[in-house]
Amino acid sequence: MQDRYFSDPAIDPLNQTLFAFAAYNPGPAKVRRLRNETRKMGLDPNVWFGNVEVVAAKRIGRETVQYVSNIYKYYIAYRLTRDKRLVKKSQ
């Protein structure tokens, strides 16, 4: 989904992934419409957090926003744990 719908070079790789996760339930067409509305509101349509997520919460509810947020929190926790282990290994 990321490669097919969100591979625009104006979107950084992290946000491409976040948009793909966001599109899981409502679909990529809905996320495209949310991005268009985000642009019209003067927000950045290429950034999920604090931008497209704001419009998504208003238009389709908190479920999608919470889903993306939860995945991102687990990703950050995993990276921190991995980095901590790598530091310990190198000492």
Q: What is the pLDDT along the chain (91 residues), one digit of tens a residue?
A: 999 999 999 999 999 999 999 999 899 999 999 999 999 999 999 999 999 999 999 999 999 999 999 999 999 999 999 988 888 888 8
Separation between Cα atoms, residue 34 and residue 8, nearest integer Å: 16
Identify the pLDDT of residue 87.
87
CA max distance for the chain: 51
* CA R_g for the chain: 15
In single-letter form, the type of residue at position 55 comes to V
How many domains, in total, are found in the chain? 1
Q: How far apart are CA 59 and CA 48, in angstroms?
A: 14
pLDDT reported for residue 31: 98
Predicted confidence at residue 27, as pLDDT, reads 96
* Domain with 61 in it: 2-90
pLDDT for the residue numbered 85: 87
Residue 16: the pLDDT is 98
List Cα–Cα distances, 4 to 14, 20, 29, 32, 71, in angstroms: 15, 10, 12, 12, 21
CA–CA separation, 19 and 48 (whole Å): 7
pLDDT for position 91: 81
